[in-house]
Every structure is written in structure tokens, then in C-alpha cells.
Structure 1
């Protein structure tokens, strides 16, 4: 069973139903039913026109559901006649679905869930497992999101920036359950880049390719976190890095700089260094200065402080860190690293332990705890 094919066809099938007059929520339910039926039927009897098959089955499911709902009798004139079988229309509504699923009235978590289901073609169970929540909880989240956007006009212009933020959230969720969300984000962003010519879409695609390329080096065989400076760069995916760099260069050449392009440029500089010592930290600081100008935030300034500490020395990094709120996530970890480089292991050990207590995931907590233990052992020796 070709799950990748099913996922790639999902947005087109959904778009056809919506254009025929189905409201988004009912159309999405019908498409999911058709996908389940495809999984059951196709292995033994594959269709010659997979998209047309899905459209036909989904439309029939929509008709059945509509006719069974007494409160929707007023739609009978609209849906009473079933379109004749034949090739599915070639119009691609994928882009509008991206905009709809990233509607500003949705919370980020709801927008991500709806995008994965309606555009990505994942089941509710798969999304729930990826986010480590009960299936019933995820079903409620998706249902609320569908109700929210059902009244939105399908041809309404959308906000590319919102769509890109949603896709980046998907990428940052990484992997859990039987769905690799990082790989799914790469696929969906490629799909978006094929549907819209926008330098920031290219910037996001370059960024996630460059980050994804380093994935194999991020953890040791025992599952422990490996910092960037200590990673085996021979494990990095050089083809993905090369592709990301080419996409980035093409985007930058258009002279419409955006935040994702800048972040991709920083990631490219890390990927370009054969060893950690060869990293061009001076240029990375310059890119962070550009990012502060375009999209200033405490997180950007925190990452800039790390780069300043590498380019100009740990005391310069600590000075850049001094203006930031110590309650900021990862502030203590960054401070610990800079204090250790400045020759103050006692303060660094205390800060590593503090950072471990507030770490957002187990792998990061274990890494910071080991760092604190390493320095405390050194102090006792």
C-alpha cells in the first residue's frame, strides 16, 4: 500500500469536494473515509486513476452523510445529482488548503493538527501518537478546528507567513509514534514550494533540509544528546545539505530577505564547516544581527549571544546575555556554557543543574545533568 501516494493526493481530493459545494468539515470527514477505504481495497484491486477513485468514493460518502442529516435537507438541491465518473479535475487547491488550515483564528497546535490531517493525509490516530496525546483528545482538537474554518471562503487570500510558521512547528516536533513529523514537514514544504513562488517558502525549505541533514549525528547510540560541536559530521546527509544550499542561494538572489532565509544562512554556515573549529562564527554573528533587524525576539538574541561568545570570546557572550531575562528558556544553559569557557566551572555547574531542572525534554535534561556532574566531579578532584 503506497501511503505516500495517498498523502500526496489528499489535498487535491479535498479541494475538489469543497469546490463542488461541500463544507470543509464534512468534506474532510468524507476524504478520511475514502482514504480508509483505499487502504482496504487498493492492495487487491488498485485503481487506474487513484485520484478519481478517491474523489468518487469521498463524494459518495459526503452525499450519504448529508442525506442522513435532517438539519442539512436544504442542501439536497446542491448534492442530489452525483457527477458522472471520469478523470478527476486537474485544478490544484493545495495552496488554499494550506492557508485555510493555518487560519489566524486557530491556535498554533490546532493549525498544526488540521494541516497534518487535511493536507498531510494523516489519520487522527497517527497525529495523536506523534503528539503523545489520547486519540480522543486529538479528535476533539481537530473537530473544533474544522468547525472554526468551515465558514471561511475557500478562495480567500491567505497569509504565507502563517503557513510557514505552522510548517516550522511541524518540523520542530521531530519524531514520535509511527509518523516522522520532521520528514513530513519536509514533504509538505516541498509541496508548498511547488505551489507558490515565494523566497521565504524556499528559505523555510532550505532551513529544514539543512537541519534535517544533521539528524543522524544529533544522538549517540544510547539515545543521549550530542551537541553540535561534538557531532560526527560524517553522519550528516551531504546531499540534503547541498540541496538546501542551492535552494537558499536561489532565494537570496531574489533580494527579498526574510527570517527563514536568514536562519537557513546560519544553518548553512554550520553545515559548511568541516570541523566545529572551522565554523565562521563572525559571519554567523552578522547574520544574527540581520535576524534581529528583521524579526527581533528574546530567543533570537539568546542564540546571538552564543554566537558572540564563540566569535568574540565568552565574556562578550555573557555581556550580550546580560540584557535578557534569566527566566527565558535555555538562558541558564547558555550562561553555563559561557561561564565554563570563561574558566568558572563552579558557576557553570550550578547553572547546568538549574537548566536541567527546567529542560523541556528528557534527552536535554539528561545532557545538562551530565554536564553538571562532569564539572562537579572536576571540582571535587
Structure 2
């Protein structure tokens, strides 16, 4: 079915809606060349329609062990070509059928290079997949102009777990509270593999539960939306400071920045992909990292007791923080890297060492 991807600024990109379904969300792009299933199931993509810059998608099908959640969270999928006949011996189905089963809007045959360049120039913005069955193109342009922006959207509650649950590790030395703002399954896998017992809490858990005496540390997860729209979550994180070692990533990193007294701001088009260069300021080592975020911590707003530890080499934005005296650190990127390189996985070991030192 003929369709258009219409951005809020009125720009239109012609394509095809093979599933015959429209939808809306913030239009963003990722530079990852593979990993479409992990990307689509990443809760941090909630409310966003993902443009894949690599032209071929679906070539290896879908696999039960590649999901980062039990369902896709992305609001839509934009690509150049979608393969309906996967070429992989262990494929459990094709991507198109999987997307149809989960009712995820798809638009194919889009000039994704032109779309990516437009988003880079004009910024990530809301858009909609408008099929010919939805009405005239002019009507679609009018509808897109009223779409809400991502700034101000609190989405962590939509993707977080409903109830506390445990992931136990035989022989674990430490028990860690995990605040779920939209955590990926592979992050939990890496934490567990590090030798930790985990208790995962919903996004609105109080500090009194997260810092109970049985816990040796606190992990703050990734998640979608605007961190500034989560004042209650920030207050609970702030109440945890100084009570136990804390490690935050992505949304958790941003919430820590705010809890320290800093602020966050929306990036023009964000960092999304598996090849984002980050400089560790202490070691001068460059890590190639996996990232998915549209907001960043404002360095100028941070108090003196907070040290910037990592920087993004493309735009010099803050990629890591540490408290100068308390056992607290955070990184903006995803150390579990699913999909992506494993350069940053040492952060999990750093968390373990921090708890060892604190509880020695």
C-alpha cells in the first residue's frame, strides 16, 4: 500500500506500507548495521519510529534469544528494503510477519539516506506513517503538524516492570537493587553474569526499598523519554545518594546528573547506533560504544564534587560522571552492547570493585 512518512515540519518521504498500517512517533535514526530485533525490542525506543540507515533489513530473520524485551517497544520501523525470506539456518520466522503479529507500523522503500540527512539537519522530530487509506497527503501533513514533541514525555512508567522480581545467581557475593526505567534483558544478563543477585524494582519504587540493608549496591537502568519529566524518580534517586554504591547508565546516568543538582537538555538528533566513539578521560582510551539516547547532561550545570569521566568524540557531550568522594559513577552509553561492540563492558567490573571496596 502506498504510504508517506510525514514529519512535523511538513517534509514527506514516499514509501510503501506492506502491513497496511499507519502510526506515529518521534522519527530517529540508528547507524547500527545489524541488530534490528534488539533495537525494536529496546524499551528505550518507546515512542519512537526507528529509521535504519543500513538498507537491508530482515536478512537473518527473527530469533527468540535476540529480544531485549518480550515485545517490540518501538512505535514504528522505517527502512529501505525489508526481506521477507530470511537466509539463516536458525531463523524462527521473518521480520515482516513478526512486526505484523505485534502490530508495529512499517514503511519500506523510503530514501533513508535523504531522511537521515534531513533529521541531522533539522533535528529529530515527530512524524507519522500515513497510508493512502488514511486520506489525502494534505490531511496527513496537517495531522503531523499537531504531533507532540518528545520533550516533556515521561515514558519510564509505560515500559517498566509492574512488580518487583528477583534474578538469583548461585554463589553471588553481592545483592543489588535494580531500578527499572526500561531495562534491556541483556543488561540484566551481564549484571547476573558478574556474580550478582538482583532484585528488580518498578520505576516508582521509593528510596527506602532501594537502599534496604540487604543491598550492597544500586543499579539505575536505561529507559525512554525525557528525564526532566520524571521529577519523582529523580527525588528517589537523590535520596539514595550516600547510602550505598550506585552505578547508572543512560536514563540512570541522566537522573543521577539531575539528582546531583544538574540539568539535562535535548540533543539535536541524539546518539543511536553501535559505533559511537567515547573517550575515557582517565585512561585516554577510546571506546566504540552502543548508544540510544536523545537527551544529555549539561556539564555547566554540575556542581564541583561531580567529575566528568567520559566524553563523546563527535560532539564533546558528557558520557560519564563520578562523585569525587562517594562510590557513585555513571555512563551515558550501553555497556551490555546488544547490538554492538564490547569495549565498555568493563563498567560492570568497576561496579563490582566499587562494592568490594565499600564493604571491605
More strand by share: 2
Which TM-score band (shorter chain)?
Answer: under 0.3
TM-score (norm 1): 0.26
TM-score (norm 2): 0.27
Larger Rg: 1
